[in-house]
């Protein structure tokens, strides 16, 4: 995609600090974050407000803080320059929650009830389902609309939420005039949905209870090899992309994203060979992709003062920028301007 010449477009995306990002997060979203970061005005964030929608950190809030710092460092390590882009932590930017409240009042209960992520996650957390989890997509709409983002690089699992953000945008503008910018998703083809290594019908997720289901971006090479080798496939021993071969299709997508090879090239490479050779090649390609990122991460994470300085500057820039939309919205709905004290 080429950048527009008249004015640079804005790209926005967030990721939750619910755990170390997986290969799915990287191939589906983060790789794209880094790829577009020189051509657009990019605003990226660690979505810690989203991470308290599930009970994971209630017993251990310090873990959430640690995950936030680790994730912030990893985002820099994978190629996002905090001097050239805005890289912030969501809870340090108060405008997101402010706009989310307002947008709640322009979101219909019925449309929010149709979100499949809520259905999946609420089934998992049983009696511990918060209103925050239900409201997650409205906060996500606020994250996007508050910066007037043109493009949102996401994996396919977030498509429905982006669609909701677009509906909220349309509704708000229908009442008050063109206040909010309509965002477009930016979804890659091959990595859009990387599936679980243990259940290839489910997406790979960093909060999966079974660590064998995902490759974490910081897994050691021997762990990566082991996880890929124990990935669920089928009994055919034929490396090809076909309906019903979900495990093999998933490994082919991973291999293709890491090497740039097409499905046809991969099928030719492994014709007559078994899954053992194929899995070794996939494991090695994943290790080679992640190794330079891991190395840079290990250097960065020792410099907490530098990371916290970047966070503070990111939060300040994000607050300043997002205040513009919030002020316009507040005026439109009939509020007094923010009190200056």
Does 121 participate in catalysis according to the annotation?
yes
Does 206 participate in catalysis according to the annotation?
yes
Query: Of residues 45, 148, 155, 247, which one binds ligand ATP by CB under 6 A?
Result: 155
**Interface with ligand ATP includes 10 (CB under 6 A)?**
no
Residues near ligand ATP (CB under 6 A), total: 21
Return the DSSP state at 216: B
Pair type for strands 184-186 and 86-89 = unpaired
**Residues whose CB is less than 8 angstroms from the CB of residue 11 and which lie 6 or more positions away in sequence, other chains included:** 33, 36, 37, 40, 41, 42, 43, 149, 150, 151, 152, 153, 186
Does 328 participate in catalysis according to the annotation?
no
**Interface with ligand ATP includes 140 (CB under 6 A)?**
no
CA distance 218 to 298: 10
Integer CA distances (angstroms), 131 to 50, 122, 135, 162, 163, in order:
12, 10, 6, 20, 21
Query: Of residues 70, 157, 219, 246, which one binds ligand ATP by CB under 6 A?
Result: 157
Strand order in the sheet with 41-46: 86-89, 41-46, 10-15, 151-153, 184-186
Largest CA distance in the chain: 74
Binding mask 41-80 for ligand ATP (x = CB under 6 A): ----------------------------------------
Query: Of residues 11, 12, 29, 225, which one binds ligand ATP by CB under 6 A?
Result: 29
CA distance 287 to 219: 9
- Stretch 205-224 residues interacting with ligand ATP (CB under 6 A): 205-207
**Interface with ligand ATP includes 90 (CB under 6 A)?**
no
Tell me how far, at minimum, the Cβ of 43 lies from ligand ATP, in Å: 14
**Interface with ligand ATP includes 321 (CB under 6 A)?**
no
**Positions marked catalytic:** 121, 203, 206
Q: What is the contact surface with ligand ATP in residues (CB under 6 A)?
A: 15-16, 18, 22, 24-25, 28-29, 154-155, 157-158, 191-194, 203-207
């Amino acid at each position: 995609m080429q950048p527009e010449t008249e004015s640079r477009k804005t790209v926005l995306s967030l990721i939750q600090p619910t755990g170390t990002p997986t290969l799915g997060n990287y191939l589906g979203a983060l790789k794209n974050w880094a790829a577009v970061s020189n051509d657009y005005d990019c605003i990226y964030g660690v979505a810690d407000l989203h991470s308290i929608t599930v009970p994971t950190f209630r017993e251990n809030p310090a873990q959430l803080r640690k995950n936030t710092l680790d994730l912030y460092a990893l985002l820099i390590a994978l190629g996002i320059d905090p001097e050239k882009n805005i890289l912030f932590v969501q809870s340090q930017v108060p405008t997101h929650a402010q706009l989310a409240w307002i947008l709640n009042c322009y979101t219909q209960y019925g449309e929010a009830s149709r979100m499949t992520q809520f259905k999946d996650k609420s089934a998992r957390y049983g009696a511990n389902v918060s209103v925050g989890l239900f409201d997650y997509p409205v906060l996500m709409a606020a994250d996007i609309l508050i910066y007037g983002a043109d493009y949102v690089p996401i994996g396919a699992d977030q498509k429905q939420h982006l669609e909701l953000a677009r509906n909220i945008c349309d509704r708000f503008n229908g009442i008050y005039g063109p206040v909010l910018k309509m965002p477009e998703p930016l979804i890659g083809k091959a990595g859009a949905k990387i599936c679980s290594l243990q259940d290839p019908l489910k997406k790979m997720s960093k909060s999966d209870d079974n660590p064998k289901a995902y490759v974490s971006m910081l897994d050691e090479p021997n762990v990566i090899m082991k996880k890929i080798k124990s990935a669920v496939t089928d009994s055919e021993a034929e490396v090809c992309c076909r309906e019903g071969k979900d495990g093999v299709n998933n490994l082919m997508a991973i291999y293709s994203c890491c090497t740039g090879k097409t499905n046809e090239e991969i099928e030719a490479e492994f014709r007559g060979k078994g899954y053992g050779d194929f899995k070794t090649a996939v494991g090695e390609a994943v290790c080679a992709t992640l190794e330079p990122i891991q190395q840079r991460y290990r250097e960065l994470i020792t410099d907490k003062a530098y990371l916290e300085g970047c966070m503070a500057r990111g939060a300040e820039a994000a607050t300043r920028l997002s205040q513009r939309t919030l002020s316009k919205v507040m005026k439109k709905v009939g509020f007094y301007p923010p009190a200056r004290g």
